[in-house]
Each structure stands twice: as C-alpha cells, then as structure tokens.
C-alpha cells in the first residue's frame, strides 16, 4: 500500500468481557475476583477493523466509569459522533467527543486505541511508529501483592522471583487499618530485602498525619517507592509530603489530565508520575502528559489497570515509545487474569514484558475466547472456576 485513503468509520460496537482472576485481588475499595473490560470494535467502510480495550480496576471506584457506563455511553453518544469520521483525524475526533461528552476518559482512550489500530493496519505499521517510534523493546514489570496476608504474600513473591517473572513488588494497601497495613508492608519488605524491590500503594486512603507517621517506618524497612498515599485532591499535601520524602513519591490518582500535570509540576507535588492511557483519555494525550512531566524534571512510570492480554499488548505499543522509566512499570494484567483473549501470548521473561511484533496494536482477538467470555452470551464465572 503506497498511499493511504481515508478510513471512514462505518460501525462501532462495544462488548463487555468478564475474565476470572488467578486469585482474589484486594484493592483499597473492594475485593475483586474477576476483571471486566469493554472491547471497542470499529469497522471502516474501506474494510479495516480496529479494536480498543477500555479496562477498569473492578468497577467505578477508581475513575467513576464502569464497563456498563462505557457501553451505554458508547452505544448512545459516542457511536453517532464517530460514524462517518476518518480514523486518521484523531485530534479532531477527540475534540468533537470532548465537546459533546464530559469526562469518560476510559471510554475515550478505548476509542482512540481502536482508531490507532485502524491507522496502523492501513499503513502496515505498528502503532509505536505512529507515536514517535520505538525507544525500548521491553519493560521491567512489578507484581501486585494484594491478599493482605504477609506470609502468603512473601511466598507469592518468592515464587515470582524463582520463575524470574518479577523482582519488584507493589503492595496494594488501604483496605486495612494503617497500623496493620504498615506492619504487613514492613514484614514483606524486610523478608525480601536484598532479593527484590518493594513498593506501597494505599490508593489515596491515608491522611497527611498517617502518611507522615507511616513514611519513616516504610523507608526503614527498605520500601523504595510510595504511590499516592494521600487523596487525589490534596495536591498541596502531596507537595508537603514530597519535600520530606527520601524515596520516590509517585502520583497516580492525582494526575489524570494535562491540567493535573501542569499543577502537579507547579507545586512539585510528586517526584514520579504514573502514566495510564485510560485515565488520560488515550495514548496521544498520555504521551503529551509524559512530555510535560519530563520537561518539569519529573520522571515517569508505566502504570496499569490490569488490562487483558489485548489491552496489555496495546499498552506495550505506547510504552515502547518511552525512553527512561527509572522505576519500570507494571503491565502485569495477563498474569493476574486467568484467561487470555488474544491469539498471541504476552511474553514475560527475565523480569520484563517484551514487545510483540505486528501491525496496528500487534495483538489480535481470539474470536472463540471472545465468544466465550462476552457478557451478553450469559457467561457465568462459576461455570469455569476450578
């Protein structure tokens, strides 16, 4: 294909998919046993299909959207605005969507992902070449420890280390009382000292006094990064904590939009920024956000919402365009989700996730798996649980 023609969007379909997890995941807000996402399937009149994945960390507690809200809004409000548009006109499409639909960054990110997949396929190029080109082939990937039981978490970490899958672990915190949570984290960090890096993420559940009490204890135990201990709105508090924090203080919930990033940079509210395509409304905006962070001298990190094998492949296309990730990232979804929905298997080895070759997003949906796990086929989690 030497020249490209427009790729006009003809159909837009949103499919909710429910996948079981290999074990329960205890977030600050809830205990999850399955992971749901929306696949956004766009077909062009010219015959190309692009797919995006809007993934959420088990319901609306993190970002306000749910798989149900995404499907409802895409069916009723996004689709009529998309049909007839040229998939190459991403900035224009996103502006049009922003004018008509407030928020909904997860849905917008899933749509943008499908548009980029169409572009890549039309141009016979991987998506990373549409985003500035490849600067890395792999990403060091942290593993979430999220059962709340320190002894079991230490065993889980040792198993991951033995298999050379992960040498960095992130404790999901905030579900327990701070005293018990900090004791748990210190025990895990001390037990793994010299073997692995241990990090803590209370998902904004602590107040400043608690964070100030916890921080020196965690640092003493060897924790090398604390993520979003304070509520997302408390940027001034985050800035105060950053000033006294001898380890990386990463902002996640506090930095979703470009405006959030600008304000975080002005206040020096964090010393590391977690990038997530979903929270910022797409790969291109996340790239801009990353450039704003780097321009302010604040390093970046590749975060996750526990995407499927498809969404993880897509995230890796974006991640491949990032040069320096001093603390790595955590695209570990496919190892926590018990079922793959792609024809390709994500490649985890030597503590890293490796980029997959291919055009577009480099991943293709396994149609049989999609048929089995789509919610509108009355799939029941209990039917496949062992």
Distance CA 25, CA 11 (A): 36
Could you say which of 71, 108, 170, 172 is catalytic? 172
* 330 is an interface residue for Mn ion by CB under 5 A: no
Q: Which residues contact 210 (CB under 8 A, 6 or more apart)?
A: 178, 229
Closest approach of Cβ 349 to Mn ion, in Å?
25
The residues near 305 (Cβ < 8 Å, ≥ 6 apart) are 55, 56, 57, 62, 276, 278, 311, 333
Tell me whether residue 369 is one of the annotated catalytic residues.
no
CA distance 372 to 350: 32
Catalytic residue from among 330, 339, 352, 369: 330
Residue 71 falls in the annotated catalytic set? no
Task: Tell me whether residue 93 or residue 215 sits nearer to Mn ion (CB atom).
Answer: 215
- Considering only the stretches 11-19, 70-78, 200-208, 323-331, report the one whose residues sit in contact with Mn ion under the rule CB under 5 A: 200-208
CB of 186: closest distance to Mn ion in angstroms? Answer: 20
Helix (H) or strand (E) holding 60: none
Q: Which of 252, 260, 330, 339 binds Mn ion (CB under 5 A)?
A: 252
182: left (phi over 0), alpha (psi -120 to 50) or beta: alpha
C-alpha–C-alpha distance, residues 372 and 363, integer Å: 18
Q: How far is the CB of 173 from Mn ion (least distance, A)?
A: 10
Question: With contacts defined by CB under 5 A, how many residues of the chain interact with Mn ion?
Answer: 2
Q: Which residue is nearest to Mn ion (CB)?
A: 252
Mask of contacts with Mn ion, 267-306, x by CB under 5 A?
----------------------------------------
Tokens standing for residue 11: 């159909």
Q: How far is the CB of 386 from Mn ion (least distance, A)?
A: 30
State the DSSP string of 152-199.
Answer: HHHHHHHHHHHTTS-SEEEEE-SSS-HHHHHHHHHHHHHHTTTT-EEE
Nearer Cβ to Mn ion (44/254): 254
- Per-residue binder mask for Mn ion (CB under 5 A), 117-156, x = binder: ----------------------------------------
Helix (H) or strand (E) holding 65: none
Give just the sign of the alpha carbon dihedral 60, 168, 202, 280.
negative
Helix crossing, 283-295 with 258-267: angle to 10°? 10
| Shortest distance in whole angstroms from residue 61 CB to Mn ion | 12
| Residue 156 vs 330, nearer CB to Mn ion | 330
* Region near Mn ion per CB under 5 A, out of 36-44, 76-84, 172-180, 250-258: 250-258
Q: Between residues 131 and 319, which has the closer beta carbon with respect to Mn ion? A: 319
- Cα separation, 41 vs 13, whole angstroms: 5
Nearest approach, Cβ of residue 285 and Mn ion (Å): 18
Residue 186: name the closest of 231, 217, 207 by CA: 217
Binding site for Mn ion (CB under 5 A): 201, 252
Annotated active-site positions, please? 172, 330
């Amino acid at each position: 294909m030497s020249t490209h023609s427009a790729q006009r969007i003809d159909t837009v379909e949103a499919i909710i998919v429910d996948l079981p997890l290999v074990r329960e995941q205890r977030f600050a807000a809830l205990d999850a046993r399955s992971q749901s996402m929306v696949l956004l399937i766009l077909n062009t009149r010219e015959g190309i299909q692009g797919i995006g994945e809007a993934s959420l960390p088990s319901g609306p507690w993190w970002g306000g959207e749910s798989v149900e809200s995404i499907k409802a809004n895409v069916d009723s409000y996004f689709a009529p605005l998309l049909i007839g548009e040229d998939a190459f006109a991403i900035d224009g499409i996103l502006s049009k969507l922003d004018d008509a639909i407030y928020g909904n960054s997860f849905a917008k990110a899933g749509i943008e992902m499908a548009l980029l997949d169409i572009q890549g396929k039309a141009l016979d190029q991987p998506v990373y070449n549409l985003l500035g080109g490849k600067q890395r082939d792999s990403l060091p990937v942290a593993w979430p420890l999220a059962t709340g039981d320190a002894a079991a978490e230490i065993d889980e970490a040792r198993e991951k280390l033995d298999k050379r899958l992960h040498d960095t672990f992130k404790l999901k915190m905030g579900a327990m009382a701070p005293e018990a949570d900090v004791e748990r984290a210190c025990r895990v960090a001390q037990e793994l000292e010299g073997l692995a890096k241990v990090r803590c993420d209370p998902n904004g559940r602590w107040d400043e006094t608690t964070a100030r009490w916890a921080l020196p204890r965690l640092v003493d135990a060897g924790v090398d990064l604390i993520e979003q201990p304070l509520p997302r709105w408390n940027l001034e508090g985050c800035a105060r904590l950053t000033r006294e924090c001898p380890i990386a203080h990463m902002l996640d919930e506090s930095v979703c939009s470009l405006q959030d990033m600008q304000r975080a940079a002005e206040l020096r509210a964090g010393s590391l920024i977690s990038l997530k395509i979903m929270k910022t409304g797409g790969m291109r905006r996340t790239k801009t956000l990353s450039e704003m962070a780097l321009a302010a001298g604040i390093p970046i990190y590749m975060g996750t919402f526990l995407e499927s094998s498809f969404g993880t492949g897509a995230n890796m296309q974006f991640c491949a365009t990032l040069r320096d990730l001093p603390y790595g990232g955590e695209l570990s979804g496919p190892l926590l989700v018990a079922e793959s929905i792609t024809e390709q298997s994500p490649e985890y080895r030597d503590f890293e996730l490796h980029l997959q070759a291919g055009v577009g997003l480099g991943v293709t949906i396994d149609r049989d798996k999609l048929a089995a796990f789509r919610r509108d086929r009355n799939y029941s989690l209990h039917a496949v649980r062992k």
